[in-house]
Structure 1
Amino acid sequence: MIKNVGIVGAGQMGCGIAQVSAAAGYKVHIYDISADRVEAGLATINGNMARQVSSGKLTDEERKKALSLIKGSADVNDLSPMDLVIEAATEDESVKRKIYGQICPVLKADAILATNTSSLSITRLASATDRPERFMGIHFMNPVPVMKLVELVRGIATEEGTFSTAKQFVATLDKTITVAEDFPAFIVNRILLPMINEAIYTLYEGVGSVDAIDTAMKLGANHPMGPLQLADFIGLDTCLSIMQVLHDGLADSKYRPCPLLVKYVEAGWLGRKSGRGFYDYRGEVPVPTR
């Protein structure tokens, strides 16, 4: 029975997961090594929920109740009472392994540990913990409060009880579950990222401009957002790391990251979060950079 949910990482994904968990009535604790990030994260959740109230998606009472259930700190020991801990750190295997080394010793023996990884091997990450049977992937989509889907991914050692508990938990968040096997990038990113990478190749080879490619896919394929705009939203560093996971894990040349994507990341043009990517976000309206 899940009552207390721990979130590791006070970034965009961690705060989104904390928000939907508290809105569903769970007690939530956000842990991050930076107390400043925890503070900023709590402020972001407050702002997001205030916007939901003003748009009529939430009452002020519901907002206050949810916020009262969320706490945060930079003390790892605060995760010890948690029934479920979801790690939502950066998409870097060595970082995640290091985190598991720090948090596993303080967790209850029967606590479930989950990762929000969007592409890394669940089986391999589980082997870095003291509880591979009670470890699995619970992959939320960004932005968490808006997106309806959650991918559930079992590692080779994940027990059936762990999987069914995770399934019940996600169902209470008013999300739709899809079950993916533990192969690189699972379902959504296995299909989505090569499409984005192909859009970048289309730009790189001069087939179309940024504006032409995004307009073509929005109006020609009925996508709500063009693939280059979406890449900027995801973060070009994240796009590159997922393509590298696909390329390394499946050893197929069709997953080779586009050299232009590599160049943008090397330039520090990571998309919306850094102010520049395939669009320049530093002015009033985003302007294509190519």
Structure 2
Amino acid sequence: MSALGQELCSPSPRAASRRAAMSTAMRGAEAVPARTATETERVSSGSVIGSSRTSGVSPSMARLGTDARIRLDANEAWSPGTAIRVARALRPYDLEFIEQPVSGRNLDEMAYVRGRSDIPLLANEASWTRHDQLAVIRAGAADAISADNQADGGLLNLKRSAGLCEAAGLPVVKHSLGELGVALAAATHLIAATPNFRHASQAYGALLSDDVTAGFGGPTGNYHHGHLAVPAGHGLGVQLDEEKVAHYAELYAKEGKDFSFTDDRHTSWPALPKA
């Protein structure tokens, strides 16, 4: 990025990767294979849409079809004015949600955008803990809440989050920071038993090349017509592949420090785990 002829900064590798991925998506989404077809599609956009013409979205929307529920994640990248402009421009596509259009640390801005958008807003970075979710609810800053058990102390707190949102009349979706089949199976049971998980939740299985469970999660999945089936076996209903557990435990011991959900440089990220 430059200003007044001076180089200010270069995009981080993460930002550059995100831009490249979104640029590819904006050129046209390919059809999802039938065995993994889903009813809800989530598109991460950030500054790509906010800083350019929204007309570039049209090819991707057309390929997703009229039956798909489309969720657009801005990753806190927009100003209130940009968020309102984009929401109005995308009104014809009947989006399910715009996720975190502005900073999650400014609930007044979120409420301002929500009051001027015909597209419902989904809180994410603003709602990582139960205490954050309560603040979002009090501010009237979102139409739905994204909650994450890894960011707020586990499955019991995810259940508490859902109860909090239900009392406020809001649906809740599960956010994923990346998990293997065991955690996915546990969350699937909880979601199936909680009434206000009415919208699609996130799962990372399709992004993995392998998993420690047999026949559930990971690249093979356990999907039926776009829905993840609740495991029917004893306990969580999944079987561990002990050789893979040992393999990835050894790999984590060697490289785990390079794989973290927290970064001290980002003060808004919650410390994990939370009680």
More helix by share: 1
TM-score (norm 1): 0.33
TM-score (norm 2): 0.35
